Each structure stands twice: as structure tokens, then as C-alpha cells.
Amino acid sequence: MFGKLILIELYKIFRKWRTYIGFIAIGVLLPIILTALYYEGSNYINFSMRALKGSFLVVGNLLNGYLVGYLILQALIIHIPFLIVLVGGDLMAGEATAGTYRMLAIRPVSRFKILTAKYLSGIMYIGILLLFLAFMSIGVGSIIFGTGELLVYSNKIYIFPASDVIWRFILSYIFAMLSMSTVFGLSFLFSSIVENAIGPIVATMALIIIFIILSALPIESLAWIKPYLFTNHMNGWMTFFADPVDWSEITESALVLGAHSVGLYLVSLILFLKKDILS
Amino acid sequence: MFRILLIALLFLSNDAFTQDKDADEIIKKMQTVFDGIKDYKVDMTISVDMSFLKVPKSKATLYFKQPDKVKLDSKGFAMLPKEGLTFSPGKMLDFAYSAFYIKEEKVGESNTHVIKIIPNADTARVLLTTLWVDSKFNILRKIKSTTKSAGEFEIELTYADPANIKLPSTAELTFTFDQNKIPARIRDEIQKESKDQKNQNSMNGKVTIRYENYSINKGLPDDLFKEDQ
């Protein structure tokens, strides 16, 4: 029964054209990035390795599908929230806009199940979008560029063996899923409060932008607030591409994001259970 | 000026006065031994240890053909220091120089002649090189060099069967790396991690290479070196 509810919600999600904006954006952007990397990716490698090439003879294919996957994840993960809130902001408020809230609530299904099914189907949408991103970047990138060692240019220059890369990507995407679930949870909460989808979409994005600005400002008096901003923990996926992996930092970020996700879901649930549906 | 000072220091040292062997002759003998190797191919396992770089242990094959053809081949990523890559004395001493016999010294279990090399011209890339040449087999045991662009480096070589194979079985290269060549972001991170390296212009690095499966004088074709020379 509950599974069917989720399927219905997924059907409703994928019936709306705005759901496909994320897929279209990734589907259009990635071939452009892949083409650019195909022709100019070696410049990036040369730039990253310039410190070493004077003293070392270097061989090997560092421009490969793994590097492409890493660069794309790094570049796009900041923008994926924009695509996710398009769906998250519409899930509840869309019912109000369409005038189907009351009809939904009078069915012999509890409000708890209705909201949870909507929430979980939204989470599944995020999973599908991220899987599509992974396929288009790592999958297509590996077909075009092949596989090999992964060059990561962060606090050090890391070169990971090909056999040491896949698990890092898997955990990074799981972490990215957690980050995006928090963003989704926020838009879902706003969506359960109002009756128009535009408000939750704009409000979520505005809040994320404010948090990101607060995180980035090098002002000492604001430093105390940074650990409490969930946006400060969203880049935790990058920690998997270090050696050794800082598991305590990842655990802390995962707990903050997880607590936000659960908290936002619970607040949405309480609001929906107490909501006086008039539309 | 630096070169003149070095020469003066060498002649003023006690060791210099005890010079009784011909440094040029020792280098010539070493060169003759190396010239007996027309070409070689060897499998290498390379370990790199540098504070700003994390690289997995890599495997590669090195091809060398006299006088200076080199090719590095690897299925995956590999990096090898350019200094002392082929152990060719001719390549290492490819500038006009003056050689001074200093003393005899033990390197491991081997007796060596210690020779200091000073370039005759200011244009040479090297400021000072010290060679430890095995007195029995006339092969290089150790090299210490100060260069203008690559800082200091030291290579210590061990041989599994020096009587038959005049090429090393392991090489341990320690070197200094100019911090200014490292991107600022990475340099700051490294300095944060290692307070003792703060305000220094260089950091240390170490590369260990294990050589296996030498194939010597098998007549490597020139075509092999066309791309990567």
C-alpha cells in the first residue's frame, strides 16, 4: 500500500515538465564540458603538474573518465540544489495550487503516509538525478577518455590509483545525496507551509545563498555561526578525495546534514498533520 | 665568485693536500665501464615521498640507448626524477669541469674514491658535484650535487651483482624542492602542517627506485625512442 503511494507520487513528479529541467540541464551541459575537456583537458593536467614537470619525467593518462567525473562533480554540485528545489518546492504546494489538497486528505490514507510518501519520492528523485549526473560524467567520460589514476588538486596533489577511486566516488555520491536531501527537506518544509510553489523555490534558494555567503565571509565575529550552517558541510564529499580520509570530519558533516534532513521532515510532518486544509 | 670560493676551500682542506690519485683517470675508467653498456631495458618500481604530493607506488620500464636516448614506459601513471635518470656519467658531466680527488671513503661495504667536480664555466647548470666511485668496479655508488635550478640532490646506488651487471638494483634519491615552484594554496597548507618548514624556501623529497629484470646490450631499435626522447 505504502509502496503504491510512493509510486503514485513518483508518477506525479515525472508527469510535470519541471522535473525534467534538471535532466535537460545536465544533458546539455555535460556534452559541452566533455567536448571542452577533450580538446583542452591536457592544459588542466599541465597546469596541475607544472610544479613537478621541471624535475620529473611524467608518463600516464591523467586525463581520464575519473578526472572528468571529479571535475564535473566539483563544478556542478553547488548548482544541483537549484534543480532539486524545483521539485521539492512543488511537492506539497503544488497540491494546493491544483486544488487537490482536500481531495488527497479525505482518502483513506493517513496524512503521515501521504507526506512521507511525498518526501520519499522526492528523495528518490534526487537519487535518480545524481545517478544521471554520475552516468553522464564518470560513465560517458570513461567511454570517451578511458580510465586511469585520478589527479586531485586540493590541499596537496593527490594521484590515486585507478583501483582506489571507485569507492571514493560511491561514498561521495552518497554524501552528495545527503547534502541534497537537506536542501530538498528545506524546500519541502516551505512547500508544506504555503500554497504556491514559487515561494518555496525562491525562499529555499535565498536561504542557501545567504548561508553560503555567511560561510564564505572572512569575518571573525561570524566565525562561531559557521559550524551550524548546513551549507558549510555540503562540500564534505570532497574529503573522500584525500589521503588519509578524515572520517571524523565526514561523520560530523554527515550528522549535521542528517539531523537537518530528519528535523526538516519532522517539522513538515507536524505542520501537515495540524494543517487546516481549506483549499 | 662562488666557484672561486669553492676551489679555494678545496685546496685549503687537508684532504686536498693528500691528493695522490688522478680524479680524471677515475672518471675516465667509470665512463669506460658505462660505455660498455650500449643499451638497456629495466623494470622499475618507484616510490615517491614528498610532503605536497601523494603518489601511489608505480611500475614503469626504462629504455636507454647510448649516448642519451631515453624512454619511460608505463601502463599507468609514473614519475621519475630527471636527475641521474640513466646513471650515464657522460650525461651527468656534460659540461667542462675540473675534477679533484679528495679521499677514499666507505659507502656501505664498498671502498670508494671521492671526487669533487667543479664546472669551469658559470653557465653550467651544476654548481658542485661530488662523486663516490667504487674503487673495485669503477661504478657510481653515490652522487651529491648542487644545481642552479633544481637545488640539491643526492643519489645513493646499490648493486646486486656489480661484477656482472654494472647497473644498480636500487637507487635512493633525496632532493630539495623549491617551495616557490609549488602553487601558493598547497604551499600554505603544507606550511600549516609542518611548522618547521615554515619560512624555508625548500622542502625535502625522496624517491626510491627498485630495478629488476635488466636486459643489457640486446640492440634496442632507434625507433623505440622516437616519441619520448
Q: Are residues B79 and A56, on separate chains, in Cβ contact within 8 Å?
A: yes
Q: Give pLDDT tens digits for A223-232.
A: 888 888 899 8
Average of pLDDT values for B205-210? 91
Residue B227: what pLDDT?
65
Q: Are residues B72 and A159, on separate chains, in Cβ contact within 8 Å?
A: no
Q: What is the rounded distance in angstroms from the CA atom of residue B155 to the CA atom of residue B60?
A: 19
Q: Is residue B179 scored above 90 in pLDDT?
A: no
Select the more confidently predicted residue: A275 or A184: A184
Residue A279: what pLDDT?
62
Average of pLDDT values for A123-135? 96
pTM reported for the whole predicted model:
0.83
Nearest-by-CA chain A residue for B189: A155
Q: Is residue B51 scored above 50 in pLDDT?
A: yes
Residue B188: what pLDDT?
74
Q: What is the rounded distance in angstroms from the CA atom of residue B170 to the CA atom of residue B157?
A: 6
Q: Give pLDDT tens digits for A236-260.
A: 999 999 989 999 999 999 999 999 9
List the single residue in B77, B150, B181 with the smallest CB-CB distance to A60. B77
CB of B77 less than 8 A from some CB of A: yes
Q: Is residue B192 scored above 80 in pLDDT?
A: no
Q: Is residue B151 scored above 90 in pLDDT?
A: no
CB of B81 less than 8 A from some CB of A: yes
Q: Are residues A59 and B77, on separate chains, in Cβ contact within 8 Å?
A: yes
Q: Are residues A162 and B76, on separate chains, in Cβ contact within 8 Å?
A: yes
Residue B3: what pLDDT?
58
Q: Are residues B181 and A157, on separate chains, in Cβ contact within 8 Å?
A: no
Q: Give pLDDT tens digits for A41-81.
A: 888 888 877 777 777 888 888 899 999 999 999 888 888 99
Q: Is residue B229 scored above 50 in pLDDT?
A: no
Q: What is the rounded distance in angstroms from the CA atom of residue B214 to the CA atom of residue B99?
A: 31
CB-based contacts of B167, cutoff 8 Å, min separation 6? B37, B40, B42, B87, B159, B211, B214, B216
Please provide residue A100's backbone torsions phi and psi, each rounded to the nearest 5 degrees.
Answer: -105, 5
CB A56 within 8 A of CB A155: no
Minimal C-alpha gap between B59 and chain A (Å): 11
Q: Are residues A161 and B185, on separate chains, in Cβ contact within 8 Å?
A: no
Select the more confidently predicted residue: A105 or B165: B165
Contact pairs from chain A to chain B, CB under 8 Å: 76
Q: Give pLDDT tens digits for B20-44.
A: 678 889 999 988 888 888 999 999 9
Q: What is the ipTM of this complex?
A: 0.73
Residue A222: count other Cβ atoms within 10 Å of its Cβ: 12
Q: Give pLDDT tens digits for B117-132.
A: 998 888 887 889 999 9
Q: What is the rounded distance in angstroms from the CA atom of residue A3 to the CA atom of residue B124?
A: 77
Residue A191: what pLDDT?
94
Nearest-by-CA chain A residue for B82: A56
Minimal C-alpha gap between B13 and chain A (Å): 33
Residue B213: what pLDDT?
93
Residue A2: what pLDDT?
86
Give the pLDDT band (50/70/90) at residue B149: confident
Q: Are residues B150 and A62, on separate chains, in Cβ contact within 8 Å?
A: no
List the single residue in B53, B85, B189 with the smallest CB-CB distance to A57. B85
Q: Is residue B11 scored above 70 in pLDDT?
A: no
> Please, what sign has the CA dihedral across residues A192, A197, A198, A204?
positive
Average of pLDDT values for A96-122? 88
CB of B44 less than 8 A from some CB of A: no
CB of B90 less than 8 A from some CB of A: no
Lowest mean pLDDT among A146-150, B60-64, B96-100, B137-141: B96-100
Average of pLDDT values for B134-150? 87
E strands of B15-151, at which residues?
Answer: 39-50, 53-54, 58-65, 69-73, 78-81, 97-107, 110-119, 126-134, 140-147
Give the pLDDT band (50/70/90) at residue B10: low
CB B117 within 8 A of CB B98: yes
Mutate to test the interface with A, among B46, B77, B185 (most CBs of A within 10 A): B77
Give the pLDDT band (50/70/90) at residue B17: very low
CB B140 within 8 A of CB B30: yes
Minimal C-alpha gap between A56 and chain B (Å): 4
Q: Is residue B167 scored above 70 in pLDDT?
A: yes
Give the pLDDT band (50/70/90) at residue B66: confident
Average pLDDT score over chain A: 90
Mutate to test the interface with B, among A61, A159, A164 (most CBs of B within 10 A): A159
Q: Are residues B150 and A162, on separate chains, in Cβ contact within 8 Å?
A: no
Residue B202: what pLDDT?
66
Q: Is residue A139 scored above 60 in pLDDT?
A: yes
Q: Are residues B82 and A62, on separate chains, in Cβ contact within 8 Å?
A: no
Residue A103: what pLDDT?
83
Three-state SS for A147?
coil
Q: Are residues A58 and B182, on separate chains, in Cβ contact within 8 Å?
A: no
Average of pLDDT values for A6-35? 93
Select the more confidently predicted residue: B46 or B12: B46
Minimal C-alpha gap between A30 and chain B (Å): 26
CB of B152 less than 8 A from some CB of A: no
Q: Is residue B194 scored above 90 in pLDDT?
A: no
Question: Mind giving me the DSSP string for A9-30?
Answer: HHHHHHHSTTHHHHHHHHHHHH
CA quadruple A156, A162, A167, A170: dihedral, nearest 10: 90
